[in-house]
Amino acid sequence: MTQPPHDGTHPQSGNGPPPGYHQYGQGGWQSGYPQGAQFPGVPQGDYPLDPAQQQMGEQPLSPSEEQGWGVAAHLGGLLVSFLVPLAIWLIFRRRSRLINDHGRTAVNWELTLLLFYVVGVVLAIIGYISLFGAVISGNDPGAGTAFGLVGIWALVIVGFIVLWLLNLVLSIIGALRAYRRQQFSYWAIPFIRS
């Protein structure tokens, strides 16, 4: 979009700012995202565009930006755990209700997964220390103990795979819901509340 003239008129409408701009200062124009019906192709979903956000100090995100960052908050957790959703939520939460809800939900989910992963690693370490500590001290742990600890390791590994697949599926569903501007929540511990 080209910049409008700075003389207070617009060639297509005569006077006033063109769509998507509002006047500031003496004769200057500032880009602003129009709200509401100006975005006919944007699904409204559970997050209709809010004209009250224009009154805030920060410029609200456009619907396409909201959708893009909402998708990134959900899918970013697949790459770098909770860091990507946390960064997106902290940066854009005041500029968009959709990002506030979806970002917070994604952060809570990734922190819940991280907690499960830490518990699994602790169980595997305890099993490792128990089995090999008994061998090093000269005590025979016995076949039952060894198979039991190998079973714990197998459960931990299978649990990690199941959690990763669950994260993959739910992150994709969350990204689709964010793109459609619909609410979504994971089965997560609410570390961050609204």
pLDDT in tens, 47-71: 665 555 555 567 888 889 999 999 9
Q: What residue spans define the domains of the chain? A: 63-186
Contact 75, 175 (CB under 8 A): yes
Residues in the chain: 194
Taking only the tens place, the pLDDT of each residue in 57-116 is 678 888 899 999 999 999 999 988 899 999 999 999 999 999 999 999 999 999 999 999
In contact, 103 and 115? CB cutoff 8 Å: no
Spatial separation of the C-alpha atoms in residues 186 and 159, rounded to whole Å: 18
Q: Of 54, 49, 22, which is closest to residue 38 (Cα–Cα)?
A: 49
Q: Which helix (H) or strand (E) holds 133?
A: helix 97-136
Q: What is the pTM of this model?
A: 0.68
Q: Is the Cβ–Cβ distance between 61 and 50 less than 8 Å?
A: no
